[in-house]
Structure 1
Amino acid sequence: MRLNLQTDYALRTLMMLATHGGQLAVDDIADAYGISRHHLMKVAGRLAELGYVVARRGRGGGLSLARPAEEINVGSVVRDIETLDGFVECFDAGSNGCPVAGVCGLQGALSLAVGDFLARLDRYALTDLIPSRQLFAERLAPTSPSTSPP
């Protein structure tokens, strides 16, 4: 199983915002992770639509968490961003063309596995993903040639 890129970027964005504790520009987040600004803009918009972040435009704008990090449930974020109903073809009755649908156990087994996966993530708040805010922030801090280690 692999989370889609939007879910990955959403979790990373939320983690960086939780660590920073204030407002950050999308460019700063994209640069820190070395990821596409264009893709991150889409993710930021989605996070704002879902109420996880507040997005302010213009000079002095940026992203900030819409609520405290300890109140953001990781399982909820994944459910909101990820498309799990199409995990395999037989999960979608409307487009399922599998000839053994309804007589095989794969759908049931995978459905339980996805449920277990989400139940595990439900045990985590955003703060749980950042055991050391200081180390996390240091890893994402920009380094200039004069400050980088030899």
Structure 2
Amino acid sequence: MRLTSFTDYGLRMLMRLASAPETAFSTAELAEEFGLSRNHLTKIMQQLARGGIVETRRGGGGGARLGKDPAKVRLGDVVRLLEQGQDLVECFGPTGGDCTIGGCCRLKARLRHAETRFIEDLNRSTLADIALPAREVA
């Protein structure tokens, strides 16, 4: 299974937030750290906020911080949230794509099972398990 860059960067940002759960990180500092545009980062943060994983505040002293204890954020749930709308294969989409073997396909059920097991396996780990080491203040 290949995750989108949206999910990849979302997980990286959560790893950074989990390294200092009480700290609010600005979009500018996170964008610089991860080498991506503030616009892209904002879209990721909005999705994480809609999912209740992060809290965001605008203005001075604002930024993004974890909305939950990192030990209670399951990685599979994060991946599921960030991968919404990204079907593993075309035939999983609402229209079924251009598949011509839908009526006799034996692969689809196995792929769905594998996708479910992938998320279940990730859910055995939490954000606390993968938090980046805390940075020392100079």
TM-score, shorter chain, exceeding 0.5: yes
Amino acid at match of 1:90: C
Distance 1:17 1:4, change over 3 A: same
Match of 2:128?
A: 127
Q: Which has the higher contact order (CA 8 A, sep 6+)?
A: 2
Largest Rg, 1 or 2 = 1
Gaps of 5+ in 1: 142-150
SS at match of 1:41: helix
Alignment length, in residue pairs? 137
Task: Provide structure 2 residue ranges, at least 5 long, that are not aligned to the other structure.
Answer: none
C-alpha distance in 1 between matches for 2:15 and 2:90: 32
* Root mean square deviation, CA, Å: 2.1
Structure 1 segment 71-82 matched on structure 2, within 5 A: 71-82=72-83
Query: Is the CA contact 2:56–2:62 (under 8 Å) kept in the aligned structure 1?
Result: yes
Aligned residue for 2:3?
3
Structure 2 CA distance for aligned equivalents of residues 27 and 20 of structure 1 = 17
Equivalent-residue separation in structure 2 for 1:86 and 1:32 (angstroms): 29
Percentage of matched positions with identical amino acids: 38
CA contact (8 A) 1:85 1:91 kept: no
SS in 1 for 2:87: coil
8 A Cα contact 2:70 2:126, kept in partner = yes
Give the CA deviation at 1:50: 1.3
Seen in structure 2, the aligned counterparts of structure 1 residues 71 and 91 have a Cα distance that, compared at 3 Å, is same
Alpha carbons 2:74, 2:126 under 8 Å: kept: yes
What is the DSSP-based 3-state SS (H/G/I as helix, E as strand, rest coil) of the residue aligned with 1:63? Answer: strand
* 2:36 alignment counterpart: 35
Task: Name the counterpart of 1:63.
Answer: 64
- What TM-score do you get using the length of structure 2 for normalisation? 0.88
Q: Secondary structure at the match of 2:9?
A: helix
Q: CA deviation at 1:85?
A: 6.1
Measured after TM superposition, the shift of residue 83 of structure 1 is 3.2
